[in-house]
Amino acid sequence: MNAIIYKNEKYPIRTFLVELPNEGERKITISNIVLEKAIKDKYLEIDSEEMDIDNEIYFYVENEFFELTAKEICEKHLDQKIEFLEEA
C-alpha cells in the first residue's frame, strides 16, 4: 500500500482505475479521513503543501471502509457510485 508523508507521518492511499460518468476512464486516489483531519486547517491556503495533498486525493473515506475491496469502496463509499476497473 502506498502512502503520503505529511509532517513526518505516513497516511495510506490507494489508487484505482475507474470509469467516471461523463469523464471516462480515470485514475483516482483515496485516503482515509485521518489525513483529511490532519490537513484540514490549511488545505485551502493557496500554494500550500496541504492544498497539494488535497488536490491529489479524490475522496477521503471513513477509516473502517479503507481496507474494503476497491470495488466495494467505489460502489458504496465514495461521493458517487463509480464503476471500478482495477486497482493501480
Distance CA 6, CA 76 (A): 28
Query: What is the reported pLDDT for 17?
Result: 97
**What are the sequence ranges of the domains in the chain?**
2-87
Residue 45 has pLDDT above 80, yes or no: no
Query: What is the reported pLDDT for 85?
Result: 97
Residue indicated by cell numbers 513526518: 8
Q: What is the pTM of this model?
A: 0.89
Q: What is the mean pLDDT of the chain?
A: 92
DSSP letter assigned to residue 26:
E
How confident is the model over 7-30, as a mean pLDDT? 94
